[in-house]
Amino acid sequence: MNDISPDMFYGLIQTYGLPLLWAVIIFIVGRMIARIISSAVAKAMTKAKVEETLVKFTKNMLFVAIMVFVVIAAISKMGVETTSFAAVVAAAGLAIGLSLQGTLSNFASGVLLIVFRPFKTGDFIEAAGISGIVEEIQIFSTLMRSGDNKQIIVPNSQVMGTTITNYSTKPTRRLDLVIGVGYGDDLQKVKAVLNEVLATEERILPEPQPTIGVLALGESSVDFAVRPWVNSGDYWPVLFDLQEAIKLRFDVEGISIPFPQRDIHIVSNPKDTVAA
């Protein structure tokens, strides 16, 4: 086996060694730059009080995206044709994107939920036909807790694709009660009794003032609209207690709460009467 001459060795170094060295330098420096840029973006997002989940995801995605370019640049420095490699990467990205359309839709919706904040953790909302307390807003789904303590996982695309009702945004809420009384009852007395019941409930807010009025003349009852305002946290306790208090007071005052009923009138046949 012949020894490698110095000129041949120098030629190999120039042909393969230097490009490899430059490729390694590009990779190391590029990785450092990728870390610096992704960390700087993450810090800026944290200062802007962006959700931590989105900060971490953006940091990782930015780092990976920069590293893809760094790897392509390092491979190109070694003399490898990168056009076909880039085409393969693009084709793979397109295939992955098409196969993950639903997932990407959930991701985009998750970003919108985190950025625009239509609700936050701890809010009681109704979205995608589901009501519950928001426990966590993740990138792909929203975790909710139902009233009977069941965890519900809702895809973010379904949340963003429907109307969102946030019951926790406003500090106060209005109770909308419909109280039916008999047609034979004194409506002025009913109104006065309802006002007295509301006045004894300390959790009802003085402003805005409660509304009490005849809502409809129903088939079996005269329906009163009773609409007091309460703090949002008192909504359900006051709703339950107020209906009980109204029923008990009506019993004392002799005010009836009628149930649906039908009056049947039997008319005899005049021919039968004559024949008899």
Confidence of residue 93 (pLDDT cuts 50, 70, 90): low
Architecture per CATH, domain 172-253, reads as 2-Layer Sandwich (3.30)
Is the pLDDT at 267 greater than 90, yes or no? no
The C-alpha atoms of residue 62 and residue 49 are separated, in whole angstroms, by 19
Instruction: Please report the pLDDT score of residue 99 as a whole number.
Output: 54
Residue 241: count of CB within 10 angstroms of its CB: 13
pLDDT at residue 207 is higher than 60: yes
Q: 6-99 — its CATH code?
A: 1.10.287.1260
Mention the CATH class of domain 117-166: mainly beta
Tokens of 58: 């953006």
**Mean local confidence (pLDDT), 54-65:** 79
Q: Range with the lowest mean pLDDT among 34-48, 231-245, 260-274?
A: 260-274
Q: Each residue of 9-23: pLDDT tens digit?
A: 565 555 666 777 888
pLDDT tens digits for range 100-133: 556 778 888 888 887 788 998 899 999 988 999 9
pLDDT digits (tens, 9 = 90+) for 247-258: 999 999 999 988
Domains of the chain, by residue range, sit at 6-99, 117-166, 172-253
Contact 229, 173 (CB under 8 A): yes
Give the Cα-Cα-Cα angle 226, 227, 228 (nearest 5 degrees).
Answer: 120
- Residue given tokens 């379904």 in the structure block: 158
% of the chain with per-residue pLDDT over 90:
45
Q: Which two tokens stand for residue 196?
A: 């007295």
Q: Which residue from 221, 215, 216 is spatially nearest to 260, judged by alpha carbons?
A: 221
Looking at per-residue confidence, does 265 or 127 come out higher? 127
What would the pLDDT profile of 211-232 be if each residue is shown by its tens digit? 999 999 998 899 999 999 999 9
pTM above 0.85, yes or no: no
